[in-house]
Amino acid sequence: MKKYGAEFFGTFWLVLGGCGSAVLAAAFPSVGIGLLGVSLAFGLTVLTMAYAIGHVSGCHLNPAVSIGLWAGGRFPARDLGGYIAAQVAGAIAAGGVLYLIASGKPGFALSAGFASNGYGAHSPGGYSLLAALVTEVVMTMMFLIIILGATDKRAPQGFAPLAIGLGLTLIHLISIPVTNTSVNPARSTGVAIFVGDWAVAQLWLFWVAPIFGAVLGAVVYRFIGGSER
């Protein structure tokens, strides 16, 4: 239960910090943090939580990461259900807190997107379903390779949170224009359920693509990295 609690609060922080920066600060009049700031915010949430709860739960904060670590032989299948449930619950709780904050501003409207992920008409850059699918699969694959490599016993110790946090920052810098960047089904769910409508209708992609990409990343790392020694 301590591990599940850590995953709940860790994912809560990821969604509140990452999506919160997008909703509250990205386009703040004249001093908005923009795409670079939002990308850094997502990376910093993972970096800070990795040091805070990594020794408790491993700091997955992401159903795709948990499944990818299982596929990579680093995580037991018996814990998958509990981890994923805690991650999704933490993301939804963060979405609720963010909604309470954001709705305190006159003119706030969920129709603006609320940092939801989307494709086609709901992609920030108008990218197609195929482009969104490829982006989410490839970005999550690379994220898992980074995670598995940085946490390998053969890798330099103590630096994994930096590599993983900066990796997630880079992923956002690349893919925010395409899908608003998911690579995390819990993050997508946590805000989509408040928007409803198109965000929920398109949510399937942001479960299927990251999970497939994570498993693919585990397969690739097993091939290039072998087993820990």
The pLDDT tens digits of the residues spanning 60-73 come to 999 999 999 999 99
Number of domains in the chain: 1
What is the token pair recorded at 38?
């939002």
The pLDDT score that the predictor gives to residue 187 is: 97
29 — pLDDT class (breaks 50, 70, 90): low
Angstrom distance (rounded) from CA 144 to CA 157? 18
Confirm if 38 and 121 have CB atoms less than 8 A apart: no
Phi, psi (deg, nearest 5) at residue 161: -60, -35
What is the C-alpha to C-alpha distance for residues 132 and 61, in angstroms, rounded to an integer?
A: 22
Range of the domain at 73: 2-225
Q: Tell me the CATH number at 185.
A: 1.20.1080.10
- pLDDT digit string (tens) for 111-139? 888 999 999 999 999 999 999 999 999 99
Chain CA centroid to CA 205, Å: 14
CA separation, residue 218 to residues 142, 168, 222 (Å): 10, 17, 6
| Model pTM score | 0.92
Q: Is the pLDDT of residue 228 over 90?
A: no
Q: Which DSSP string do the residues of the chain spell out, in sequence order? A: -HHHHHHHHHHHHHHHHHHHIIIIITT-TTT--HHHHHHHHHHHHHHHHHHHHHHHH----SHHHHHHHHHTTSS-GGGHHHHHHHHHHHHHHHHHHHHHHHTTSTT--GGG-TT----GGGSTT---HHHHHHHHHHHHHHHHHHHHHHTSTTSPTT-HHHHHHHHHHHHHHHHHHHHS--S-HHHHHHHHHHH-HHHHHTTTHHHHHHHHHHHHHHHHHHHHH----
With a CB cutoff of 8 Å and minimum separation 6, the contacts of 111 are 195
pLDDT mean over 33-41: 92
